[in-house]
Amino acid sequence: MKVTIKIPLLASGLLALSGLAQAAQVNLYTTREPVLIQPLLKEFTESSGIKVNTVFIKDGLLERVKAEGRRSPADVMLTVDFGNLVDLVEADLTQRVNSKVLNNAIPANLRAANGHWYALSMRARAVYASKERTPLNAIHYEDLANPQWKGKICIRSGSHPYNTALIAAYIAHHGEKAAETWLRGVKANLARPASGGDRDVARDILGKICDIGVANTYYVGTMRNGNAEQQRWGNAINVVLPRFKNGGTHVNVSGAVVAKHAPNRKEAVQLLEFLASDQAQAMYAQSGYEYPVKPGVKIDPIIASFGKLDIDSLRLSEIARHRKAANLLVDKVQFNH
Query: What confidence score (pLDDT) does residue 23 get?
Result: 83
The β-bridge partners of 95 are: 258
Average pLDDT for 313-336: 96
Is 289 flagged in the annotation as binding?
no
pTM for the model: 0.89
Distance linking the first and last C-alpha atoms of the chain? 86
Query: What confidence score (pLDDT) does residue 11 get?
Result: 36
Share of the chain above pLDDT 90, in %: 91
Residue 200: pLDDT over 60: yes
The mean of the pLDDT values for the chain is 93
pLDDT 10s digits, 86-136: 999 999 999 999 999 999 999 999 999 999 999 999 999 999 999 999 999
Average pLDDT for 147-176: 98
pLDDT 10s digits, 129-148: 999 999 999 999 999 999 99
Query: What confidence score (pLDDT) does residue 283 get?
Result: 94
What type of residue is 15? L
What type of residue is 193? P
Q: For the domain with range 2-122+252-297, which CATH number is right: 3.40.190.10, 1.20.1250.20, 3.30.60.50, 3.30.360.10?
A: 3.40.190.10
Share of the chain above pLDDT 70, in %: 93
Residue 15: pLDDT over 80: no
**193-208 CB burial, b ≥16 within 10 A, e <16:** ebebebbbbbbbbbee
Structurally, at CATH architecture level, domain 123-250+311-332 sits in 3-Layer(aba) Sandwich (3.40)
Burial class (CB in 10 A: 0-12, 13-18, 19+), 189: buried
Confidence bin at 260 (pLDDT 50/70/90) = very high
Positions of E strands within the chain = 25-30, 51-56, 76-80, 94-95, 118-130, 153-154, 212-216, 237-240, 251-259, 291-292
CA neighbor of 234 nearest in space, from 165, 289, 314: 289
pLDDT 10s digits, 33-48: 898 899 999 999 999 9
The β-bridge partners of 215 are: 126
Query: What confidence score (pLDDT) does residue 14 get?
Result: 33
Average pLDDT for 229-244: 98
Average pLDDT for 61-65: 97
Residue 263: pLDDT over 50: yes
Query: What confidence score (pLDDT) does residue 18 get?
Result: 38
Kindly report, as residue ranges, where domains of CATH 3.40.190.10 are found in the chain. Answer: 2-122+252-297, 123-250+311-332
Residue 3: pLDDT over 70: no
Query: What confidence score (pLDDT) does residue 2 get?
Result: 41
Residue 161: pLDDT over 60: yes
pLDDT 10s digits, 280-291: 999 999 988 999
Is 162 flagged in the annotation as binding?
no
